[in-house]
Structure formats: C-alpha cells, structure tokens
Structure 1
Amino acid sequence: MTILETARVKVLENGTGLDQAEVLEVLNLPESEIPALMEMAHQVRLKWCGEEVEVEGIISLKTGGCPEDCHFCSQSGLFESPVRSVWLDIAQLVEAAKQTAKSGATEFCIVAAVKGPDEKLVEQMEQAVAAIHAEVDIEVAASIGTLDAQQVERLARAGVHRYNHNLETARSYFPEVVSTHTWEERRDTLHLVADAGLEVCSGGILGMGETLEQRAEFAVQLAELNPTEVPMNFLDPRPGTPFADLPLMEAPDALRAIGAFRLAMPHTTLRFAGGRELTLGDQGAEQGLLGGINALIVGNYLTTMGRPMERDLDMMDRLQLPIKVLNKVI
C-alpha cells in the first residue's frame, strides 16, 4: 500500500493523523505525486475541518529589542538587524483591530517581542483586550512569550481566547535555532495554556536547515499538543540574523510539507503565515489553499511585508473558498 493509499484509510476515512515514519514518506514523495498529495490533503481538510477559511490579522505591540537569540528573527536585540524597538498604545491597537475586522477577519492577534511579559505588559494586554472587545466584533489572540500559570489565567479572564507560542522547529533541531531558552520551556507554556481552557496555537518555521526527518519529527510533536491552530511559516532570511544567508525553501518542498502537516493533523487549523509569498508565489499559494491550508494571515507580518489584503481576499473569492464568519456566544 502506498503512503497516499494509507492516508486515504487512516486519515481521510478514520480521522487519525499519520505517524512520524508515515509523514517522512510524504515528505519524500516524488514531485510527480504532489498534485495527488494536494488533492488528498484538500479532501481531508474538507471532511474534518469544513470548507471555510479563517482570516486573521496580526500586530506587534512591542517590536524589536528582544533579549532572545532566535536565529531567524530580526527582532532580537543581539543581532545587527534594522529593526528597532517600538511600543504601540491601546488606541493604535483598537484602530488596527477595526481595520482587520473590515477585511472579514475573525481573529486579531497581538504580539510582543519579549521572552515573557512583565507586569506592565500583562496589564496593557488586559486593557487592550477590553478596549478592543468594547469597539470591535472580533476574537483576540495573544503571543507574548513564555507564561506562568497566573499570567495565563489573567489573559483568559481578560478575554484572550487563543494563545500562540510556536515550538519553531523539531525538538532535536531546536538548539541549532535558539540557545537562550529551551524547547521544553515553550512546550510547558503551551501545556499551561491548554490547562486554562485557552485554544492552543503553535507552529514554526520550515526551511531553517532542518532535515526531512526533523521536519517529520516536528509535525508529530505539534500534533501531540492537539493544537487548535498551527501557523506554517517558511523562512524569509532576514539581514543581520544568523540565518541571513540560508536559501529559500523550494516550492515543491513547501507543498509536500503542507500536505504532510495536514495528514498529520487532520482536525487542526493550518494557517498560511510568513514567507509564503517568497517560497510559493501566487500559484503556490493557491495550491496550498487547495491542498490542506484552511486559514491565513492577511496583510503584513511582524517585521516583513506580506501580500496586500485585497489580493488574498480576491484569491479566496476566485477559488470559491468561503471566509469563516464570527460566531461568538454572547
């Protein structure tokens, strides 16, 4: 039985994700098999997630000056990158949420470049979420680093419904990417988030020099978290960072990864995130949306330019993919 035949029974019919060895088989499929993989992944996402695409906008509350040494990130204060430290006030966050909602987005994620929040940042998050909910009909997610149990509870009480904390890469490769904290610290925060009843959002960046074996390891480690959402980023090498000279991921490898992650996590929201414009272009982005992806970030990212929001919305309309609507319980 071929790996796609196995996936048809195990994933499409039964809703069980592929294991690590099976994911690796998918990642090694010949290029001629990619269309069949994309079709299988699309069928899986339609059956287990539905046809709607979730749209999200993100904004950086605190940009730059981070004390961590994530080798892909231009926000680290340890590297000679052009990003400088900037803080936004609550009025700016509310306005950004309003603009995001106008696109039809149901999610608005507030991000801060910190290892973890201090009291000032937690208080500002509490105030910002209250202000946004008072004026904008949108869900608020957060990504402000490593948390303790008390901080998680405060964010939950404030109205944050989903928390993002990326594992970034496979456990075995993580020391090659970050040295100032551990993979286990990230996982521990995600366990706290899940225990508090918040939705777990965790993904990472592909194309940072990891092997295919480590890519398969990463997919399964994410699946073990039972995440609501997995953002899929592709490395956009940033000037001044240790990964500045790494090559862009090849488009066929990116498509294999999209299909493999969908077959590893049939019930999870897979979100197109940073780097898709460079790695896949317009045609590849359409293939991804018809190959297992069921969410995307519109507009710009934290320190890099994305696609114009209108182009993404036009693409979804052309592909006849409905945008998820907000369905809050009042």
Structure 2
Amino acid sequence: MTAQPRVDEDILSTAREQVLGRGEPLAYEQILAVMNTADDQLEELLALAHEVRMTYNGPEVEVEGIVSIKTGGCPEDCHFCSQSGQFTSPVRSVWLDIPELVRAAKQTRETGASEFCIVAAVRGPDARLMDQMREGVAAIRAEVDIQVAASLGMLTQDQVDDLVAMGVHRYNHNLEAGRSFFPQVVTTHSFEERWDTCLMVKDSGMELCCGGLVGMGETLEQRAELAAQLGELAPHEVPLNFLNPRPGTPFGDLPVMDSGEALRTIAAFRLALPHTILRYAGGRELTLGDLGTRDGLLGGINAVIVGNYLTTLGRDPREDLALLADLEMPIKALGQTF
C-alpha cells in the first residue's frame, strides 16, 4: 500500500463518540477526514465501523440476487458501463422471457437470498417493459417466496405508482457519483434527474436502494461528497460498487482501486450512514479479493449480492455463504425484510 500522511486521531475519537455513541452520521468534512486516514489507522477504523454496524443494524446479513430482464443496447453513456450502445464494448441487447425470469428467481431463493432484483439497461421503462414487469412480477410472486425489487432507470410518477401496485417493494436507482463529478461520468442525463426519481420512490412507500460507484478517477473530496449526498437522501439501502474497468468503455483503462483505499471507503460510508443497509455490489471480487471481502464484512458491510452481476462474474454464492457462516453472521430471513 502507498504510505499516507497520518491524520489526527481526533477524527476516530469524534466518530466513536458521535456515530457509535449517539447514532449521528458524519458530515462531509468528517467523512473526508476519515478517507484521509493513514494505513496504520485502518485496523482501528474498520473495527469502529464494524461496531457501528453491529450496534445499529445487528449481525444479520441481507442476501440478494440480481438478473437483467433487458441487457445491453442502453442509449445512455455511463462511462463505466459496457451495456451502453454508444461504446464498442461487446454487450448487445438481449431480453429475458418470463419463464427465464421465474427460473432465475427460484435459483436465487435457493441460495437463501431474501430479495430478487430485476434490472433493465434502459434510460427509463417504456410501455413494453412495464407490461413485461407486470407479468414477470406476478409470475414470480405466484411461484417463489421472495421479495421482488427493480432497477429500470429514471421513472415518471405514473410508473412509480404502477410498480407499487405490482408489489415491487424496493427500487434501485444509484446516484453513481457525487454531484460535482457526475458530468465526468454521464452526459446523457443529469444528477438532478436521478435525484428526482429517488425522491419519487421514497415518497411512494417503496424502499429506496441508492448507492454509487467508486474508483472512477474521482478525488477523495468527490468521494466524500457522494457519501454525504447519500446521507442527505437517506435511502434504505446503499450498494457500494468498485470500478471493474470494462474494455471498450471510456473508463476501461483506469487502474483498479487499491484494496486498502477500498476498505477505508467502506468504513467511511458506514460512518456516514450508520443506520443504512450497506451492500457489497459490483467489483468487490477484483478490488478486494477473498481476504479483503472478509475485512469489509468486518468493517461495516451488512448485505451482499451473491452470484454474477449484470455483465461481470461474481464469486460463487457458496463461497460467500460459507464466509458468512465462518464469521457467524446469520442471513436475514425473508420475514425480516418486509
């Protein structure tokens, strides 16, 4: 790891008293100070983040599987994503039919997961996609004992209302990056458009799942900004993704984030979001490896996506489940997710 200047230990003492003691999240300047802590402070930082997680979220880990109902051919230009139709990356448009969707939900439930998320690579859903969602959610709810979540891009109010009526309990719509860095990541829509969808979801009664992606070349200040803005939004769940550079995308040649920096980021997000589900998402296998994955679970993470992601391979679900058993972290039961 690269040596870093040591930050005054007062930030860890402050975090212990403020976050662990009173349950109050860190503010932007405090988050930035945590992200600047030195390598020899990392063990103490992770231990503190784990205490916060255990105090305000308990030992259970929420497990989720995801599947893409529509993959590739997206009109947006998110610079990290191989599903964009604007780049030379090899993912091309594919649709799943309803039996395939139900089969994927059953396979997800067999891992012990309590949630199944249906994802589509679109700017926002059209009438065809909403019809397929309506049919797919009904079929899953009829055959599989699992909660259904969705991630379909930006929504109108009518579409939000339709998803509620279908029985979708949680909606994912990531901010991706902090407001100041967002134009370097996406140019085909704005940060404000994403924010507005998130507010409509929150107001609807659906749980909001909203996180971001780190390691895209943002500064520590911009990474702390993302954590603070997520704290302001107060989603039910925050998926934390680490850039897995995809060939053919504008970010395809960026280096993989250093594992120590990734763990420091996990801890900082936990201290910024003490009461929130903080979920391991894409890129953790490449960025952290097996040992780092364990360290993150002992540093603030309390939820995982198991199996493969939308266009990249994940860990074997059996490995994640064995790790949770080894750490004596029970999987949250389905009834506890309602």
TM-score with structure 2 setting the length: 0.96
* Alpha-carbon shift at residue 204 of structure 1 (Å): 1.1
Deviation larger for 261-270 or 120-129: 120-129
Distance 1:33 1:167 in 2: 29
SS in 1 for 2:247: coil
For residues 333 and 62 of structure 2, what CA distance do their matches in structure 1 show? 8
Number of the residue aligned with 1:138: 146
Query: 1:283 & 1:329 partners in 2: Cα distance?
Result: 28
Distance (Å, rounded) in 2 between the aligned partners of 1:328 and 1:211: 38
2:259 matched to which residue of 1? 251
- Structure 1 match to 2:237: 229
Structure 2 Cα separation of the partners of residues 74 and 215 of structure 1: 22
Give the SS at the match of 1:222.
Answer: helix
Question: What is the alpha-carbon distance in structure 2 between the residues aligned to residue 81 and residue 167 of structure 1?
Answer: 23
Residue of structure 2 in register with 1:49 after alignment:
57
- Structure-2 residue corresponding to 1:37: 45
Aligned-pair CA distance for 1:161: 0.4
Give the 3-state SS of the residue equivalent to 2:244 in structure 1: coil
Q: Work out which of the residue numbers 145, 169, 173 in structure 1 matches 2:181.
A: 173
Matching residue within 295, 312, 315 for 1:307: 315
Counterpart in the other structure of 1:287: 295
In the alignment, is residue 150 of structure 1 matched against residue 155 of structure 2?
no
Q: Does 1:207 align with 2:215?
A: yes
Q: CA deviation at 1:329?
A: 9.4
Q: Is the 8 A contact 2:114 2:337 kept in 1?
A: no
Task: Indicate the larger mover: 120-129 or 320-329.
Answer: 320-329
State how far apart, in whole Å, the 2-side matches of 1:111 and 1:261 are.
Answer: 24
Deviation at 1:228, TM superposition (A): 0.6
Query: C-alpha distance in 2, partners of 1:130/1:222?
Result: 32
> Deviation digits for residues 48-94 of structure 1, max 9, x if unmatched?
11110000000000000000000000000000011111000111111
Q: Deviations over 1:244-265 (max 9, x none)?
A: 0000000011001000000000
Count of aligned pairs: 330
Give 1:217 deviation, angstroms.
0.5
Structure 2 residue runs without a partner (length 5+): 1-8
Query: Which residues in structure 2 correspond to 1:67-216 (within 5 Å)?
Result: 67-216=75-224
Q: CA deviation at 1:328?
A: 6.7
Please list the CA deviations of residues 282-302 of structure 1 after superposition, one character each: whole Å capped at 9, or x if unmatched. 000000001100000000000
Report the aligned-residue RMSD.
1.0
The answer to whether the 8 Å contact 2:65/2:307 transfers is: yes
Query: SS of the residue aligned with 1:255?
Result: helix
**Identical aligned pairs, as a percentage?**
63
Amino acid at match of 1:40: L
Q: Distance in 2 between matches of 1:241 and 1:195?
A: 35
SS in 1 for 2:217: coil
1:15 counterpart residue number: 23
Distance 2:101 2:152 in 1: 15
Instruction: List runs of 5+ in structure 1 lacking aligned partners.
Output: none
Using a 3 Å threshold, how does the CA distance of structure 1 residues 329 and 143 change in structure 2: closer, same or farther? closer
Q: How far apart, CA to CA, are the structure 2 residues paired with 1:297 and 1:211?
A: 27
